[in-house]
Structure 1
Amino acid sequence: MAASTNGAKPAAASTDVDLFRQSEIAADYVEGLLDILDYDGDIDELVSAGRPVVEVVGGRLQALVGQRGATLEALQELTRLAVFRQTGSPSRLLLDVGGYRATRRKELSAVAKNAVEKVKQHGEAVRLEPMSAFERKCVHDVVNAIAGVESESEGVEPNRRIVVRPVD
């Protein structure tokens, strides 16, 4: 019996050319938003780790990041929709503004290592505060690289969180 696709196309592996095209479409969309908002920023489009990436750098961009990256996450979703509208394919586009994601990745690495230390010290699971998908991925990556512990996401958005526990 064949699986139903509900009219959706099967996901095909994207080439770097396809991914770069997605980043170009996204950069054009973000540039339009910056023009509307009268913000200045330099936009770089690239492909990194098999994902299209758009980076916006410049002064006065904090409002585009928002509290704990909430505005940035919303802008990323809007930009992904703009890419989808032009390509007909979902995108794993990563949008960064003012280096927020790199800075946050370092902070989350410290949070993950601290949780691992607590788990190893006390032998009990540690539940972290709710995080975005980007933040959870950063924490999972750090925890999964350390022997003797594992991580798992639990809960439902927007209260989805990571639990770090000792490996049985």
Structure 2
Amino acid sequence: MKQVTATAQTVDEAVESAIKQLNASEDMIEVQVVDEGKKGFLGLFGTRPAIVKVILKQDPLAEAKRFIEDVAEQMGAPVQVTLKREGKLVIFELSGEKIAMLIGKRGQTLNSLQYLTQLVANKHSEQYLTVMLDAEDYRSRRTQTLKQLAEKMASKALYTKKEVPLEPMPSYERKVIHSALMNKKNIKTYSAGTEPNRYIVIAPHK
């Protein structure tokens, strides 16, 4: 965390001096007044300068991006990261020659990295952010796979007249399954188990 201590005749002037040293703007800093200073008699005797400590706030998205890049580098799969923000939703797009290593089997590595990245981002953010990681359109392809799985398992549940439990999935993937089958009147879905092993059960609806 970068910070500077500045002195001047007034608190405002000291803060302005610190901002220039940090090459920042007012919305990027936190100010701690160490000493408000004292003008002194006739401006000559007993004068004491104002002292402030100005701390540069950490950018939560920059910290999250740096975290992703560091982890990928350590895994031997360096990536390029771009981001887009839609309100409180932040989407990091990952690309690289060894992107498959970061996706992992059924997206498990990507999901774990996404969870950790969200922790990093919210550690430095004043408002709660929802973070999503995508890797060369993996999420879109995974969504289509899940929809196909939902239809297939729904048919199985109707044919066997038994409940069909699916493998554990993160919450947003469970939502895809629920949404894909929500209009089928003869099928019901519900979640069971506890995180991180929570899963969906597809059952015939009488």
In the superposition, the TM-score normalised over structure 2's length comes to 0.60
Which SS does the other structure have where 1:87 is aligned? coil
Q: Kindly tell me the number of residue pairs found equivalent between the two proteins.
A: 148
Residue 146 in structure 1 maps to residue 192 in structure 2? no
Tell me how far 1:138 sits from its aligned partner.
Answer: 2.0
Residue 124 in structure 1 maps to residue 162 in structure 2? yes
Residue 107 in structure 1 maps to residue 145 in structure 2? yes
The equivalences for 1:2-151 within 5 A come to: 25-37=63-75, 39-47=77-85, 51-151=89-189
Which SS does the other structure have where 1:53 is aligned? strand
Answer with 1 or 2: which has the greater Rg.
2
Residue 157 in structure 1 maps to residue 198 in structure 2? no
Do the aligned residues in 1 keep the contact of 2:77 with 2:102 (CA within 8 Å)?
Answer: no
How far, CA to CA, are the matches of 1:68 and 1:37 in structure 2? Answer: 18
Q: How much is the aligned-residue C-alpha RMSD, in angstroms?
A: 2.7
More strand by share: 2
More helix by share: 1
Greater relative contact order (CA < 8 Å, ≥ 6 in sequence):
1
Alignment partner, residue 9 of structure 2: none
How far, CA to CA, are the matches of 2:161 and 2:102 in structure 1? Answer: 40
**Letter in structure 1 aligned against 2:132:** L
Q: Give unmatched runs, 5+ long, in structure 1.
A: 1-20
Which SS does the other structure have where 2:122 is aligned? helix
Do the aligned residues in 2 keep the contact of 1:23 with 1:53 (CA within 8 Å)?
Answer: no
How far, CA to CA, are the matches of 2:88 and 2:160 in structure 1? Answer: 38
Alignment partner, residue 7 of structure 1: none
How far, CA to CA, are the matches of 1:167 and 1:48 in structure 2? Answer: 37
Which SS does the other structure have where 2:190 is aligned? strand
In the superposition, the TM-score normalised over structure 1's length comes to 0.71
Question: Cα gap change, 1:107/1:22 in structure 2, threshold over 3 Å: closer, same or farther?
Answer: farther
Do the aligned residues in 2 keep the contact of 1:24 with 1:45 (CA within 8 Å)?
Answer: no
Q: Give unmatched runs, 5+ long, in structure 2.
A: 1-58
Question: Cα gap change, 1:159/1:33 in structure 2, threshold over 3 Å: closer, same or farther?
Answer: closer
Do the aligned residues in 2 keep the contact of 1:136 with 1:161 (CA within 8 Å)?
Answer: yes
**After alignment, is 67-76 or 44-53 more displaced?**
44-53
Question: Cα gap change, 1:22/1:119 in structure 2, threshold over 3 Å: closer, same or farther?
Answer: farther
User: What does the per-residue CA deviation read over 1:31-67, in whole Å, with 9 as the maximum and x for residues that have no partner?
Assistant: 3434555544332212469622111022211111222
How far, CA to CA, are the matches of 2:154 and 2:161 in structure 1? Answer: 10
**Letter in structure 1 aligned against 2:92:** V
**After alignment, is 28-37 or 144-153 more displaced?**
28-37
